[in-house]
Amino acid sequence: MYICTVCGYVYNPEVGDASQGVAPRTPFEKLSGTWKCPRCRAERSKFVKREG
């Protein structure tokens, strides 16, 4: 899982991100370069990896 350091949104690769058309089981590293946090619109660089 990856957590946004700005707002706390959790990106779970198993779930994906339907709001931006990201299919379930899409690894964080495979997200498009334009993908942003769906909650606060932070860049991918604002996310940190968290085990669990």
Q: What is the pLDDT of residues 19-47, one digit of tens each?
A: 999 999 999 999 999 999 999 999 999 99
Stretch (H or E) spanning 47: strand 47-49
Q: Is residue 38 part of a domain?
A: yes
Angle of CA points 27, 12, 26, to nearest 5°? 25
Identify the pLDDT of residue 7: 98
Q: Is residue 51 part of a domain?
A: no
**For residue 51, what pLDDT band results from cuts at 50, 70 and 90?**
confident
Stretch (H or E) spanning 7: none
pLDDT at 52 over 70: no
Q: Is residue 50 part of a domain?
A: no
For residue 48 the two structure tokens come to 């940190």
The total domain count for the chain is: 1
Identify the pLDDT of residue 23: 97
